[in-house]
C-alpha cells in the first residue's frame, strides 16, 4: 500500500498548480460491508501525525480568571464563560466560531454550559471541547494538538481527513498518510478488505485514486 499511496500523493501534487494560498492535502476513504448504524463500528480516532499538520492549528478555550490568563499565555484564543449563552442564541455566530477553530478546550466547570448552548453546533463537527483540569497547563494540551487530526466517519461510509499541507515534503505527507491508513484499517474487521475506495487530493486539485491492496 505504501507504494500506491506514494504514487497517488505524487500525482495529486503534480496535477494541482500552485495557488495563492497553502493548500491542504486530504485523504478520502469509503468503507464497504461495515454496519455504521452500530456506533461501535464507526471510526473515531485521534491520530498524532509524525510530520505534523503542516499548518498552525487554531485552538480556543472556554475559560475565565487564572485559567484564561494561562490560555492566553499559551497563545490560545479565549472565550469567556459569559459569552457562551450569547453564542448559543446566535446560531450564525456560533457556526462561524466553530469553523474558525480546529480544536476547543474548556475548564471543567464550563463543560456542561458549553454542551447545553453550543453542543448542537460543536457536536456534529466533532469539536466538543476537551476538559482541562485545574492543575493542568492548557499549553501542554495545545502542544499535542498541533500535530493531531481527528479521523471520524460518524454514520457515513465516506469520510475525509487531513494529511498535511503542500509546504511539507512528499515523504512527510507519506509518513502521515501511512499512520492514518494503518490506524483506520486496524479498526476494521477485514482491514483493507473493508475499504471500497481511497483518494488523495489537494484542497482544490483533482482526486487521485489509490489502488487498494487487500
Q: What is the DSSP string of 133-176?
A: -TTS-HHHHHHHHTTEEEEE-TT-SEEEEEEEETTS-HHHHHHH
**Mean pLDDT over all residues of the chain?**
95
C-alpha closest to that of 152 among 160, 144, 163, 141: 160
Entry pTM: 0.87
Let me know how long the chain is: 214
Give CA–CA dist 36/57, Å, rounded: 30
CATH superfamily of 2-54+148-209: Ribosomal protein L1/L10, rRNA-binding domain (3.30.190.20)
Render pLDDT for 81-105 as a digit per residue (tens, 0 to 9): 999 999 999 999 999 999 999 999 9
Question: What secondary structure letter does DSSP report for 194?
Answer: G
Residues 103, 145: contact at Cβ < 8 Å? yes
pLDDT for position 19: 85
> What residue segments make up the domains of the chain, in order of their start?
2-54+148-209, 59-145
Residues 25, 9: contact at Cβ < 8 Å? yes
pLDDT higher than 80, residue 214: no
Residues 59-145, CATH architecture: 3-Layer(aba) Sandwich (3.40)
pLDDT-based confidence at residue 16 (cuts at 50, 70, 90): confident
- Both ends of the chain: CA-CA distance in Å? 9
Residue with cell 485552538: 59
Residues 146, 55: contact at Cβ < 8 Å? no
Give me the sheet containing 77-79, strands edge to edge: 77-79, 59-62, 103-107, 130-132
Render pLDDT for 74-87 as a digit per residue (tens, 0 to 9): 999 999 999 999 99
Residues 88, 94: contact at Cβ < 8 Å? yes
Q: Average of pLDDT values for 28-46? A: 95
pLDDT higher than 90, residue 156: yes
pLDDT-based confidence at residue 42 (cuts at 50, 70, 90): very high
pLDDT-based confidence at residue 3 (cuts at 50, 70, 90): very high
Amino acid at each position: 500500500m505504501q507504494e500506491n499511496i506514494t504514487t497517488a500523493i505524487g500525482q495529486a501534487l503534480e496535477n494541482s498548480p500552485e495557488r495563492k494560498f497553502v493548500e491542504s492535502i486530504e485523504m478520502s476513504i469509503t468503507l464497504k460491508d461495515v454496519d455504521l448504524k452500530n456506533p461501535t463500528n464507526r471510526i473515531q480516532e485521534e491520530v498524532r501525525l509524525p510530520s505534523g499538520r503542516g499548518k498552525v492549528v487554531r485552538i480556543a478555550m472556554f475559560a475565565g480568571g487564572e485559567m484564561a490568563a494561562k490560555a492566553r499565555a499559551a497563545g490560545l484564543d479565549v472565550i469567556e464563560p459569559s459569552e457562551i449563552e450569547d453564542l448559543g442564541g446566535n446560531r450564525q455566530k456560533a457556526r462561524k466560531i466553530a469553523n474558525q477553530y480546529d480544536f476547543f478546550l474548556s475548564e471543567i466547570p464550563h463543560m456542561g454550559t458549553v454542551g447545553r448552548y453550543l453542543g448542537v453546533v460543536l457536536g456534529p463537527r466533532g469539536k466538543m471541547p476537551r476538559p482541562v483540569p485545574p492543575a493542568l497547563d492548557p499549553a501542554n494540551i495545545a502542544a499535542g494538538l498541533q500535530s493531531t487530526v481527528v479521523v471520524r466517519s460518524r454514520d457515513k461510509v465516506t469520510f475525509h481527513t487531513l494529511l498535511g499541507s503542500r509546504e511539507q515534503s512528499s515523504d512527510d505527507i507519506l509518513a502521515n498518510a501511512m499512520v492514518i491508513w494503518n490506524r483506520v484499517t486496524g479498526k476494521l474487521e477485514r482491514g483493507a478488505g473493508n475499504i471500497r475506495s481511497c483518494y488523495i487530493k489537494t484542497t482544490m486539485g483533482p482526486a487521485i485514486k489509490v489502488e487498494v491492496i487487500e
